[in-house]
Amino acid sequence: MNIMFIGIAYSPFYTAGDKNFFVQLLTELIKKEKVNKIVVISINDLGERVSVQQIGNYRIMIYNLKRSLHINYKKFFHDINNNLYYRHHHGIFQETIERSLCILNNLNLIKFLVQKEQINIIHFMDNFGPIMGFLKKLFPKIKLTYSPPFYNKRVFFYDLYLKYSFKDLDKIFPFTDSYKNILISLGIPEKKTNKNTMWHQII
C-alpha cells in the first residue's frame, strides 16, 4: 500500500501544532511495515522545496509547496529544539481559495508522484474543501480519505461547506464519536466514517 499525505505546514519533527499526530502516525506506519511508500505534499512557505523525514533506513520525501496566494498572514513558531516552522491564520474563505489554487497549480507534480510512486490512497491532513472532490474525479481509482480533528462552526454555511467538501471522499476518520454523529446528521453515510483511533483499518 502506497499513501500520499496532503496537508498544511507538515514538518518532519515535533512542534506545538496539530501535525504531531501525523509525525507519529507516519513513523508508526513505517516501523510496523503497514505501508510500502509514503509521500507528503505540504503547503509550506518555509524551508526547502523538498525535505526528508528519516525513519530508520526509510526516507519520507516531503514536497513543500509555496502558497499560490498570500491572503492569510504568516505565523512563525519555534519548537522545543528551536527549529522554525510555519503556520498561517485560518479563515474559511481565504484558506479554501489558497489551498485550491495551490493544488491546481501543482497538479503536474501531484500527477507525477501518483504515477511514479503508484499511490493507492490520498489522505488529507487538513480540509481542502471541494477541491478534494475534483481530485477524486481526477484519480477515480485512488481511495481519498481525511481525518478531521474537531468541529468548529465559524460561519453560518459551515455545515454545508463540510457536506460538499466531504461528499466525494471514500472514508472519513473523525477524532471523536460526536463529530462522527454530526457528519451523519449532515448526510454523510455512516459507512464512510470511522473513529480516528482505528485509522489503521484503512490499510
- What are the per-10-residue average pLDDT scores of the chain (203 residues)? 90 75 85 84 82 86 81 53 56 77 93 95 91 93 89 81 90 86 88 63 49
Kindly report the pTM of this predicted structure.
0.84
At 175 the pLDDT is: 81
Pairing of strands 143-146, 37-43: unpaired
Write the single-letter amino acid at 33. Answer: E
User: Could you tell me the strand order of the sheet in which 37-43 lies?
Assistant: 50-55, 58-65, 37-43, 2-8, 121-124, 143-146, 171-172
pLDDT at 69: 66
The answer to whether 173 and 146 have CB atoms below 8 angstroms apart is yes
pLDDT of residue 198: 45
Residue 156 confidence (pLDDT): 80
pLDDT of residue 107: 95
Give the number of other CB atoms < 10 A from CB of residue 146: 22
Closest by CA to 64, choosing from 54, 79, 75, 51, is: 51
Q: Which residues contact 110 (CB under 8 A, 6 or more apart)?
A: 4, 41, 103, 135
pLDDT at 75: 54
pLDDT recorded at residue 145: 92
Long-range contacts, 102-108 (Cβ 8 Å, 24+): 102/43, 102/65, 102/66, 102/67, 102/68, 103/6, 103/128, 103/131, 103/134, 103/135, 104/68, 104/131, 105/68, 106/41, 106/65, 107/138
Task: Return the sign of the alpha-carbon dihedral for residues 138, 139, 143, 146.
Answer: negative
* Under 8 Å between Cβ of 193 and 174: yes
pLDDT at 56: 81
pLDDT of residue 63: 93
